[in-house]
């Protein structure tokens, strides 16, 4: 019999933090917006204590900025900040995809190909679904990281991607960017299928370079 203590429920502040993350990602709370604590606490039916704990979490992630005597604001990412984030993501994910090209099992490569096929479907001419494309794109990148299997890299990338999401709409709405991104993913998949780590690294680097140009 399993006598271990039952798992503790998720702390309220973590639930609140996730609700606020989604509001930020959906632009319900846009960069530069003031976070109205009283209004949000009332909407969620909670006190301001778990809300303030949630805001501390989001501040640590870079999604909100705490200003002395003024409260919390959704972070506005400068061009320099964005360039720094993309630079680090390019280094980390290029290294990860090189590992994948060299070491992934056939089943793991097949799983990546299945995600890429979903990505192609989301970008079908006349039926483009930007939100779905973005979600599948993120799943693809997360799967690459999972296969490469370095939890320290995963942790850093997860935090950087939260900041990158503040600008995701800018890049997606640029004319032709989805088609470009899809072509870049094809090149990454081709390098993985060819078991060519250096080509995979170079293609992922190019993917992030082009993504930064579109997001700027």
Tell me the domain boundaries of the chain.
Answer: 12-74, 79-215
Whether the Cβ atoms of residue 97 and residue 188 lie closer than 8 Å to each other: yes
The pLDDT assigned to 185 comes to 96
What average pLDDT does range 73-101 have in this prediction?
95
Question: What's the CATH architecture for 12-74?
Answer: Orthogonal Bundle (1.10)
**Percent of the chain having pLDDT more than 70?**
92
Task: Tell me, rounded to whole angstroms, the distance of Cα 133 from its chain centroid.
Answer: 13
Burial class of 23 by CB neighbour count within 10 A (0 to 12, 13 to 18, 19+): middle
Cα(134)–Cα(27) distance, integer angstroms: 15
Q: Tell me if 12-74 shares its fold with 79-215.
A: no
Computed over every residue of the chain, the mean pLDDT equals 90
Which has the higher per-residue pLDDT, 72 or 165?
72
Q: What angle do CA 169, 31, 129 make, to 5 degrees?
A: 20
The pLDDT assigned to 127 comes to 78
pLDDT tens-digit readout, 107-124: 999 999 999 999 999 988
- In this prediction, residue 101 has a pLDDT band, given cuts at 50, 70 and 90, of very high
According to CATH, what is the number of the domain 79-215?
Answer: 1.20.120.530
The pLDDT assigned to 7 comes to 41
What average pLDDT does range 54-61 have in this prediction?
94
| pLDDT score of 6 more than 80 | no
**Percent of the chain having pLDDT more than 90?**
70
What average pLDDT does range 93-119 have in this prediction?
97
- In this prediction, residue 1 has a pLDDT band, given cuts at 50, 70 and 90, of very low
């Amino acid at each position: 019999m399993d006598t271990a203590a039952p798992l503790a429920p998720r702390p309220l502040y973590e639930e609140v933090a996730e609700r606020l993350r989604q509001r930020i990602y959906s632009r319900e709370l846009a960069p530069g917006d003031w976070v109205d604590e009283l209004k949000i606490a009332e909407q969620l039916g909670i006190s301001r204590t778990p809300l303030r704990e949630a805001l501390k979490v989001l501040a640590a992630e870079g999604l909100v900025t705490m200003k002395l005597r003024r409260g919390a604001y959704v972070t506005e990412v400068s061009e320099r900040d964005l360039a720094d984030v993309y630079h680090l993501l390019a280094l980390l994910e290029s290294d990860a995809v090189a590992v994948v090209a060299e070491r992934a099992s056939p089943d793991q490569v097949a799983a990546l190909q299945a995600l890429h096929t979903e990505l192609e479907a989301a970008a079908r001419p006349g039926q483009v679904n930007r939100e779905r494309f973005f979600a599948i794109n993120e799943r693809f990148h997360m799967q690459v990281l999972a296969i490469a299997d370095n939890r320290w890299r995963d942790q850093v990338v997860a935090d950087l991607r939260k900041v990158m999401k503040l600008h995701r709409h800018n890049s997606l709405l640029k004319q032709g960017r989805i088609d470009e991104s899809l072509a870049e993913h094809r090149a990454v998949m081709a390098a993985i299928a060819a078991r060519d780590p250096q080509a995979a690294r170079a293609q992922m680097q190019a993917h992030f370079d082009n993504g930064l140009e579109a997001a700027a």
